[in-house]
Homo-oligomer: A and B are copies of this chain.
Amino acid sequence: MTAPTRRERLRTATATEIKDGARRLLVTGGVDAISLRAIARDMGMTAPAIYRYFPSLEALVAALAGDLYDELRLRLEATRDDAGAEPVDQLLAMCRAFRAWSVAHPAEFGLIFGAPSPGLDGFVDDCVDPDHPGARFGAVFVQPIIDLWHRSPFPTPPAELLRQQLGGRLEPLRLSHGEVPIEVAYAFLSGWTRLYGLVAMEVFRQLTWAVTEAEALFELELAMFTAQLGGGADQAGGGQ
């Protein structure tokens, strides 16, 4: 790991400038608005020059998606580290931070958590690799749940039932986290899908026909979830 040469510094600087331009277009006009020509125009370049940095538009978008996963994960890790030692407090803070980032960045959320366009199929399917930004993000919730489980086991379906129903289907998870108690694995999957569903429906505006101010519903669900965990420290409150 030697110091980067001048060439390398310029190269990564240009690459991030390209990705910044792509993100700006993503935010203002959606994923369809990301165009090599527009990015190059904003940079005072011509479009073919971008091919020195990314082999195609889709590869650029995939790289941007990876960066967004990392940005969100770093945000959640910082939130966890600031939330004290109680795992339940860490989890609550992370859930709120996840929603806050998602609501504040709907276009970015849509890119990484929405319907994968066929061009990004490769990117999303590579998630089986534990080093994939998507997998690294997903894993950020696992450790706090393990901690919580060891500190004060929360009620779950009986382990025999879980083993029978989920059994060997959790091997991808085990591959990245070693031996995770199956109750923890289930709690993670159940909780993560609930969190995702709630936030995605709000960001995608799928609830406007039924409810206004989805944040109230979010805080309510959070309170119900912690109550289900066996009554944690911070219940309800916290959301105005």
Q: Which A residues contact B (CB, under 8 angstroms)?
A: 29-33, 106-107, 109-111, 113-119, 124-125, 127-128, 130, 132, 134-135, 138, 157, 161-162, 165-167, 169-173, 176, 185-186, 188-190, 192-198, 200-201, 203-213, 216-217, 219-221, 224, 236
B125-A172 in contact (CB<8A): no
B210-A172 in contact (CB<8A): yes
Contact of A110 among B114, B207, B224 (CB under 8 A): B114
Given contacts A31-B117, A107-B115, A194-B197, 4 further A-B contacts (CB under 8 A): A124-B205, A169-B212, A193-B197, A197-B198
Closest to A115 in B: B110
B118-A115 in contact (CB<8A): no
B128-A209 in contact (CB<8A): yes
Contact of A209 among B30, B119, B135, B203 (CB under 8 A): B135
With A132-B209, A194-B197, A220-B165 given, is the CB distance from A204 to B114 under 8 Å?
yes
B210-A200 in contact (CB<8A): no
A157 neighbours in B (Cβ, 8 Å): 220, 224
A212 to B211, CA, bound (A): 34
Contact of A217 among B116, B124, B189, B194 (CB under 8 A): B189
A193 neighbours in B (Cβ, 8 Å): 194, 197-198, 201, 207, 221
A206 neighbours in B (Cβ, 8 Å): 113, 124, 127, 134, 138, 196
Q: Give, as a whole number of angstroms, the nearest-CB distance from A235 to chain B.
A: 11
With most chain B CB atoms within 10 A of its CB, the pick from A135, A167, A216, A219 is A216
A169-B213 in contact (CB<8A): yes
Q: List 6 A-B contacts (CB under 8 A).
A: A106-B115, A113-B204, A165-B220, A169-B213, A176-B209, A196-B197
With most chain B CB atoms within 10 A of its CB, the pick from A109, A197, A209, A220 is A209
A29-B118 in contact (CB<8A): yes
